């Protein structure tokens, strides 16, 4: 969804079905997979904004510096899940997202994730400014929006 005054992107929602290999032996989605769901929505947001987070020969990468989820209800086999991600903070070198995972009206989990821009192929990792071609495509919204 693009904001009203610009072509900057703040949020995106994907819908996907719970797959069998994502379940644990209790028959619910393993808690580690919510982080994969959040990343899946993040990359779809970047595509919606006309970008790839990991293009061939990209000069920068975006490792995660923090990731967290609060779990409210389990997800089960073949549930159709909405994964909504929002940009909630945008600094020179970092982007922070909030994420809501839900089935219909029922919220299953809420997460946050912060990523940092680094130069590719440099060790140790060195934070650099987010290139303007990327930063100019996003705009932060309130976390509780």
79 as an active site residue: the answer is no
Contact status: 89 vs its own copies (CB under 8 A): no
For residues 96 and 123, give the distance between their C-alpha atoms in angstroms, rounded to a whole number: 24
The answer for residues whose C-beta is within 8 angstroms of residue 36's C-beta and 6 or more apart is none
3-state secondary structure (DSSP) of residue 22? helix
Contact status: 8 vs its own copies (CB under 8 A): no
- Give the binding range for its own copies (CB under 8 A) out of 5-13, 67-75, 92-100, 134-142: 67-75
Q: Are 130 and 118 in contact (CB under 8 A)?
A: no
Which is catalytic among the residues 24, 70, 79, 144?
24
Structure tokens at 65: 């510096």
Helix (H) / strand (E) containing 44: helix 33-48
What's the closest the beta carbon of residue 140 comes to its own copies, in angstroms?
A: 21
Site residues (vs its own copies, CB under 8 A): 19-21, 23-28, 30-33, 35-36, 39-40, 43, 47, 52-54, 56, 61, 63-71, 73-74, 76-78, 120, 124-125
Active-site residues, by number, are: 24
């Amino acid at each position: 969804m693009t904001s009203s005054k610009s072509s900057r992107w703040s949020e995106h929602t994907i819908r996907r079905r719970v797959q069998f290999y994502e379940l644990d032996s209790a028959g619910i989605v393993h808690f580690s997979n919510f982080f994969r769901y959040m990343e899946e929505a993040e990359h779809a947001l970047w595509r919606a904004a006309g970008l790839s987070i990991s293009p061939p020969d990209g000069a920068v990468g975006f490792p995660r510096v923090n990731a967290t989820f609060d779990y409210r209800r389990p997800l089960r086999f073949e549930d159709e899940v909405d994964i909504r991600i929002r940009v909630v903070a945008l600094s020179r070198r970092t982007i922070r997202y909030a994420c809501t995972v839900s089935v219909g009206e029922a919220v299953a989990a809420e997460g946050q994730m912060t990523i940092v821009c680094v130069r590719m192929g440099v060790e140790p990792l060195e934070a650099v400014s987010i290139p303007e071609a990327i930063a100019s495509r996003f705009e932060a919204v309130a976390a509780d929006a």
